[in-house]
Chain A
Amino acid sequence: MEVYRIENVSFAFPGQKRKALSHIDLTIQSGEFITLCGKSGCGKSTLLRQLKTVLRPHGEREGIVYFGGRHLDEADQRTQASKIGFVLQNPDNQIVTDKVWHELAFGLESLGVDPSSIRLRVAEMASFFGIQAWYHRSVSELSGGQKQLLNLASIMAMNPSVLILDEPTSQLDPIAAADFLETVKRINRDLGTTVVITEHRLEELLSISDRLIVMEEGRIIADETPVKAGEMLHAMNHAMFKAMPSPMQIAAGMGGEGAFPVTVKEGRQWLDALLGDNPREYHEELKEADGKKEPAARPAIAFKDVWFKYEKHGPDVIKDLSFEVQEGQFYCIVGGNGTGKTTTLSLISGMHKPYRGKVHISGKNPAKMPSRELFNQYLGVLPQNPQTLFVKKTVEEDLYEMLSGTGMTNEEKAEKVGVVVDFAELAPLLAMHPYDLSGGEQQRAALAKVLLLEPKILLLDEPTKGLDGFFKEKLAGLLKKLNAAGVTIVMVSHDIEFCAKHGEICAMFFDGSMITSDSAKAFFAGNSFYTTAANRMARHRWSEAVTIEDVIERCKATSLQASV
């Protein structure tokens, strides 16, 4: 039975000639699990929002959407509200009430279900999602992952026949995201609910997706099983192929005979089949020169036996932390939630003071420096949410605002702004409102703002959160350019792949302290679980192959040896 049939749908936002969607034809069968992917701004969200009339954006629409065989416009709101479940991106924004139990009941209340039936449905959902333990809590006490799970549960309580999710995990850390996606899979598998999801984390979704739909500039360019869609993208030599799981990219990099592997497990099997039972392990010594620079006379950041807690009687958040960041390094801090990563950043920026031990940046105590000195031409901090920096109506005004009160002439200001605009590639966006930019563009605009203060040390808190592969690469490019210009970068991130690919030094945080730190390659080679997908796939052969390129290179070298 088909749930949706989309016939020749086109859509343009008001006042824009460019079509956000053009001639989309799509049929969704009952019980299918469909993953939708594409670059930011390719029209994924716009397409999803066409599937429920109350969420449709204003604009010019052509074509027809059928829901369950009937015209969607004719389906009444009550049916749509209960039968079409929609989970949005930001976990916080979707929660309406103050208590978990009330949030679960919200949709049913709107539908006018009687209280005793609500009691039953809410109880069912709480049990299915494992919410009982926090059923009576206030929503403000929940973690991001719990909040998004609550959103999902409160929609599932209305018993929808189709569940539509618009980048539901972009604001979550990897563990919470995996948890959430696991629940979505379970809903599809155990309840038979049709799922349509847009996601950047394809590694976890492709193995269970029935179809992968790839979009570009408002058109569908591939609509196939994940493996076939991957092959098509590879054949097209498409940029989106970079977003596919590492095993698939490695297989494609090796010429790609046979079906592409999707999961790490399939990747290992594929690798073993490719290399045969060749026991000859290919170990190479890590080059010593790599990453071992001469320690500078004065490190950019130095922590010495630092202890910190937020409250007098509270637990220690940072325990006996000592590390040094040399000038000009690109330093990545990885680790789970609540291990003290972000707190460490706040100690570097002087927001908090340790109660024992010393923090020095270039030999000075940041907490004692006047803010004018500290944050001008010295230390730049890019907050996790770039929106917290924007104050003006356009990006351009916002950049100029940074220089107000510096006593520069207008020409000097224009010159400085011109330099960062070129650097962060903001020229086409200058006249736009900062909130109208996409996540990646906002990030760049915020970075440009911080760069106007000409920092020598740049602190980044989860800069890749919610960005797609394309914007991540762009950000990495900018950071590397800065790094090459001598800026020391300290980045806190959950994004292992990003750190492995671009970081110079990686350090792992656990339980308030740094467990290990090493050059990025050696760091990930030394981990067996907390490492990149490419490394997990190939580490039984080459433990030091960390990135996709490393694995491909070694594969080629080995097969060359074998053929000689």
Chain B
Amino acid sequence: MRDVFSTYHPVVNFAYFTAMLLFSMIFMHPVFQVIALISALAYSVLLKGKSAVKFHTLYMLPLLLFMAVINPAFNHAGVTILFYLKSGNPVTLESILFGAAAACMFVTVIVWFSCYNAVMTSDKFIYLFGKILPSLSLIFSMVLRFVPRYITQMKVISSAQKCIGRDISQGNVVQRARNGIKILSIMTTWALENAIETADSMKSRGYGLRGRTSYSIFRLDRRDRIMLALMSTFIAFVLIGAVMGENTIRFFPSVKMSGITPMSIAVYTAYFLLCMVPVLVTIVEGIKWKFIVSKM
């Protein structure tokens, strides 16, 4: 399925991921953690399909179990002692719960980051930073242009040198090192020489004149504004919950968290909706599409 959320304005994407990363790191309440983990997993599966499922079961699940198990073996704080280890250290219920919560948080953050990478492409990132520092965004853009170019050229030089028997894969260790340095030296000369023409091209197109503007293909339209408003509302709800102490949990010395009340349920719902925004918009659009097609 095509992800709809990544077609929103970069500001929307960025705000969403910032909120998600911060919230899933700060709010350790079990309900919050479960919501965040499920949403992150759902979104990553939506974005990457089968490969995400494979990744989660192969790497994330073992990581989660490992971290949950390792914590009580080293952390002996807490008042509810379950049993004693051979070394004489106690294993406590609190440390087991904390281990599970920490592992869950860790995995959630990793999964969020993988989604972030898929959605926030370099040009979106550049665009956002260009809003703050226009010259920095141009530098970013130029770096992204030149790194692949230099890598290609490096290969060209290396294969040319190979054909005169002077590549890093040829000769003994000393020769290889020498050849490597030689290739770097050719590369440097080449880069400097060619940069002159790039500079000419930039100057020729007026680079350095006063009042440079920054163009982008992104536009903050009505859809983006509505989405921002919606997300702000949810975030406000969650923050109110945070102020009221609904979102946190205390593990040591004994577990303590706020119980379930109508207010807490409202906060949970807001958080759930916020986390599921990308998945929900995609599903809604999918249904709409089916509906339109069936009408035609």
Q: Shortest CB–CB separation between residue B214 and chain A, in angstroms?
A: 6
Which residues from chain A contact B171 at a C-beta distance below 8 Å? 371-372
Do residues A99 and B123 form an inter-chain contact, with CB atoms below 8 A? yes
Do residues B204 and A81 form an inter-chain contact, with CB atoms below 8 A? yes
Do residues B149 and A82 form an inter-chain contact, with CB atoms below 8 A? no
Task: Judge whether A430 is part of the interface by a CB distance below 8 angstroms.
Answer: no
Task: Judge whether A114 is part of the interface by a CB distance below 8 angstroms.
Answer: yes
Do residues B204 and A86 form an inter-chain contact, with CB atoms below 8 A? yes
Which residues from chain A contact B186 at a C-beta distance below 8 Å? 387-391
Contact with A along B151-165 (1 / 0, CB 8 A): 010001101111111
Do residues B205 and A107 form an inter-chain contact, with CB atoms below 8 A? yes
Q: Of B149, B167, B201, which is in contact with the most chain A CB atoms at under 10 Å from its CB? A: B201
Task: Judge whether B213 is part of the interface by a CB distance below 8 angstroms.
Answer: yes
The 3 A-B residue pairs whose C-beta atoms are closest, nearest first, are A81-B206, A381-B163, A110-B206
Closest residue of B by beta carbon distance from A106: B205
Whole-angstrom distance between the alpha carbons of A370 and B267 in the complex? Answer: 71
Do residues B213 and A450 form an inter-chain contact, with CB atoms below 8 A? no
Whole-angstrom distance between the alpha carbons of A140 and B141 in the complex? Answer: 12
Task: Judge whether B208 is part of the interface by a CB distance below 8 angstroms.
Answer: yes
Do residues A115 and B145 form an inter-chain contact, with CB atoms below 8 A? no
Do residues B165 and A375 form an inter-chain contact, with CB atoms below 8 A? yes
Closest residue of B by beta carbon distance from A389: B160
For residues 86 through 129 of chain B, which have their beta carbon under 8 Å from a beta carbon of chain A?
A: 122-123
Task: Judge whether B200 is part of the interface by a CB distance below 8 angstroms.
Answer: yes
Do residues A78 and B206 form an inter-chain contact, with CB atoms below 8 A? yes
Interface of B is mostly: helix
From A90-98, A238-246, A511-519, the one touching the partner chain is A90-98
Do residues A158 and B200 form an inter-chain contact, with CB atoms below 8 A? no
Whole-angstrom distance between the alpha carbons of A389 and B210 in the complex? Answer: 42
- Which size class do A's interface residues fall under? 35 or more
Task: Judge whether A77 is part of the interface by a CB distance below 8 angstroms.
Answer: yes
Q: Shortest CB–CB separation between residue B200 and chain A, in angstroms?
A: 6
For residues 32 through 61 of chain A, which have their beta carbon under 8 Å from a beta carbon of chain B?
A: 52, 54-55
Task: Judge whether B80 is part of the interface by a CB distance below 8 angstroms.
Answer: no
28 interchain pairs, CB-CB under 8 A: A54-B200, A55-B203, A77-B209, A81-B204, A86-B204, A88-B201, A90-B194, A93-B197, A94-B197, A96-B145, A97-B145, A98-B122, A98-B123, A98-B141, A102-B123, A107-B205, A110-B209, A112-B209, A136-B217, A158-B205, A351-B159, A351-B163, A372-B170, A372-B171, A374-B165, A375-B163, A389-B160, A390-B189
Closest residue of A by beta carbon distance from B123: A99
Whole-angstrom distance between the alpha carbons of A206 and B194 in the complex? Answer: 31
Closest residue of B by beta carbon distance from A157: B205
Whole-angstrom distance between the alpha carbons of A82 and B164 in the complex? Answer: 46
Which residues from chain B contact A88 at a C-beta distance below 8 Å? 197, 200-201
Do residues B189 and A435 form an inter-chain contact, with CB atoms below 8 A? yes
Whole-angstrom distance between the alpha carbons of A102 and B122 in the complex? Answer: 13
Interface of A is mostly: helix
Closest residue of A by beta carbon distance from B122: A98
Q: Shortest CB–CB separation between residue A366 and chain B, in angstroms?
A: 11
Do residues A55 and B161 form an inter-chain contact, with CB atoms below 8 A? no
Do residues A97 and B160 form an inter-chain contact, with CB atoms below 8 A? no
For residues 213 through 233 of chain B, which have their beta carbon under 8 Å from a beta carbon of chain A?
A: 213-217
Do residues A93 and B194 form an inter-chain contact, with CB atoms below 8 A? yes
Which residues from chain A contact B213 at a C-beta distance below 8 Å? 108-109, 112-115, 118
Q: Known contacts A93-B201, A94-B197; can you find 15 more A-B pairs with CB under 8 A?
A: A86-B204, A105-B215, A107-B206, A109-B215, A112-B209, A138-B144, A140-B145, A151-B201, A154-B205, A381-B164, A387-B193, A388-B186, A391-B185, A391-B186, A435-B189
Whole-angstrom distance between the alpha carbons of A151 and B200 in the complex? Answer: 13
Task: Judge whether A139 is part of the interface by a CB distance below 8 angstroms.
Answer: yes
Which residues from chain A contact B164 at a C-beta distance below 8 Å? 375, 380-381, 389, 402, 449-450, 453
Which residues from chain A contact B175 at a C-beta distance below 8 Å? 405
Which residues from chain B contact A109 at a C-beta distance below 8 Å? 212-215
Do residues A99 and B205 form an inter-chain contact, with CB atoms below 8 A? no
Which residues from chain A contact B156 at a C-beta distance below 8 Å? 383, 385, 388
Closest residue of A by beta carbon distance from B157: A388
Closest residue of B by beta carbon distance from A111: B206
Do residues A95 and B163 form an inter-chain contact, with CB atoms below 8 A? no
Known: A351-B159, A376-B165, A449-B164. A435 touches B193 (CB 8 A): yes
A97: contacting residue among B141, B163, B185, CB under 8 A:
B141
B160: contacting residue among A55, A89, A383, A402, CB under 8 A:
A383
Task: Judge whether B148 is part of the interface by a CB distance below 8 angstroms.
Answer: yes
Closest residue of B by beta carbon distance from A93: B197
Task: Judge whether B280 is part of the interface by a CB distance below 8 angstroms.
Answer: no
Do residues A99 and B206 form an inter-chain contact, with CB atoms below 8 A? no
For residues 388 through 434 of chain A, which have their beta carbon under 8 Å from a beta carbon of chain B?
A: 388-391, 402, 405
Do residues A94 and B160 form an inter-chain contact, with CB atoms below 8 A? no
Task: Judge whether B29 is part of the interface by a CB distance below 8 angstroms.
Answer: no
Which residues from chain A contact B210 at a C-beta distance below 8 Å? 112
Contact with B along A59-82 (1 / 0, CB 8 A): 000000000000000000110011
Task: Judge whether B63 is part of the interface by a CB distance below 8 angstroms.
Answer: no
Task: Judge whether B138 is part of the interface by a CB distance below 8 angstroms.
Answer: yes
Q: Shortest CB–CB separation between residue B201 and chain A, in angstroms?
A: 4
Do residues B149 and A140 form an inter-chain contact, with CB atoms below 8 A? yes
Whole-angstrom distance between the alpha carbons of A402 and B148 in the complex? Answer: 30
Task: Judge whether A119 is part of the interface by a CB distance below 8 angstroms.
Answer: yes
Q: Shortest CB–CB separation between residue B147 and chain A, in angstroms?
A: 9
